[in-house]
Amino acid sequence: MDEATPERILEEAARRFAHAEVFDESGESLAVSFEDSRLKEITSRQFRGVGLRVIDEGRIGFAGTTDLRDPARLVEMAAASALYGDEAKFDMPGAPAELDPVETWDGGVLAVTAERMVEMGRAGLDMARDANEHYLFYCSVSRATHTQRVLNTSGLDHRFSATSMSADAGVQEVGENGMLQVFEYRGGADRIDGVIDLTRTVLEKAARAATIAPARREALPVVFAPKALGNLLSPIGVALNGKNVHRGSSVLRDRVGEQVLDERITITDDPTVPLRPGTCTLDDEGTPTARRDLFAAGVLRGFLTDRQTAGLLGCAPSGNGFRGYSRRPSPSATNTVMDAGDAPWEDILAGLKRGLIVDQTLGSGQSNTLAGEFSVNVDLGFLVEDGRIVGRVKDCMVAGNVYELLKDHVEAVSAEREWIGGSLRPAVVLGGITLAAGG
């Protein structure tokens, strides 16, 4: 039996439901990984699936499948789901007005072969071996394409295609000073030609970490580098999710228009940045996306919503309904962009009499994310004395409440920023943190 087209699935659903939507998704990926200083595996994957969402007597039904041979069965599954589904608080959008184009596709990504990925990894491995024969090198390089189409009974029919490519590199060493691990990561929609620059940064940090600086329990300024800053932004992302706002579990629920963070902090959801993971013109429901401030000079401006969540909250959808073929839409950020500050990194470092740079962390401890609390072990951190990095700290952790720290204890925001996946972040210096150390 031939596979059904999205049009045929929608036609089948429209015979039974006044409101139906088909989400057709497909993709392919190729990845190479090195582990323990040797090539581990080369993997390739292809997939295609379809999700069908319907509104039946005011209730939402949903079903997803990778078997496209029997659209009638998919319709029956969605109808059965609707018997116990949530009450629908949204309508399905029609065809949008003309959209400004955004850049999501780099044809050069497709030209990167598995052989080329292996060469990239081996070049990084050779560099790590030359630096220190005791390092265990690990690396992965992957590329992918993703295509989706959403069409519904209101006249929407939107196609979207994107490329993506990512790479990471790192080293591990187990010695008399315990275990050291350092990693760097890069990802986007554009082509990556090697991991040498990532490996070089890793090796520079690993060499700096060879000297151990004794740490003690004390209050001192803590610099959250862009990677580590994610531990502070993550609880805020949870609070900005419209579902948590509706449930009443978001601490930001009734605070739109209030000064929540330091005035030096502006955070934007920006789907227009070229060749980034979250770049798009419509979300996965067909709602137009737009650049919007979540915090403007520290003032809360709004939340992230899909169409159902927006209906429950009584507001317009923000264009942040995203999903895969096997699940219903849910609020999610596109590209999260935090404004740069006015403090050059060199000035930040020079101004630290005694401080800690947190570069990498392990986990999130037993923190209460909904309350904005975090507690993390410092995986890679450097002690600074008189403006100079003196060595790596071990066996220590930092904790606090992100809202208190980012409102009342910001000492500086760096002028330099770094893309970490779909998030562009500066470094932030925070006072009022007590370092908990084992020695």
- Tell me which of 1-15, 83-97, 253-267, 415-429 is least confident: 1-15
Q: Which region, left, alpha or beta, applies to residue 242 given φ > 0 means left and ψ of -120 to 50 means alpha?
A: alpha
Residue 265: HSE in the Cβ half-sphere, 13 Å Cα cutoff: 30
- Of 414, 427, 48, the closest CA to residue 233 belongs to 427
Given this model, what pLDDT does residue 1 score?
A: 55
Contact 47, 68 (CB under 8 A): no
* 110 φ/ψ sector (left φ>0, alpha ψ -120 to 50, else beta): alpha
Task: Please give the span between the terminal C-alpha atoms of the chain, in angstroms, as a whole number.
Answer: 68
What is the mean pLDDT of the segment spanning 28-41? 97
From CA 259, how far away is CA 200, in angstroms rounded?
Answer: 41
Helix 6-14 / helix 71-82 crossing angle, nearest 10 deg: 50
Span 84-110, mean pLDDT?
Answer: 96
What CATH topology corresponds to 6-205?
A: PmbA/TldD fold (3.30.2290)
Model-level pTM? 0.95
Mean per-residue pLDDT, 411-426 = 97
pLDDT tens digits, one per residue of 400-410:
999 999 999 99
Q: Which residues contact 350 (CB under 8 A, 6 or more apart)?
A: 387
Whether the pLDDT of residue 282 is over 90: the answer is: yes
* pLDDT (tens digit per residue) in 178-202: 889 999 999 999 999 999 999 999 9
pLDDT higher than threshold 60 for residue 19: yes
pLDDT 10s digits, 287-342: 999 999 999 999 999 999 999 999 999 999 999 999 999 999 999 999 999 999 99
pLDDT at residue number 432: 82
The domain limits of the chain are 6-205, 211-439
6 vs 8: CA distance, rounded Å: 5
Question: What pLDDT does 438 receive?
Answer: 66
Residue-wise pLDDT for 129-152, tens only, equals 999 999 999 999 999 999 999 999
Q: pLDDT band at 366, cuts 50/70/90?
A: low
Name the band, by pLDDT with cuts 50, 70 and 90, for residue 154. very high
> What token pair was written down for 212?
């151990």
Structure tokens at 268: 């934007």
Q: At what angle are helices 196-208 and 114-131 packed, to 10 degrees?
A: 20
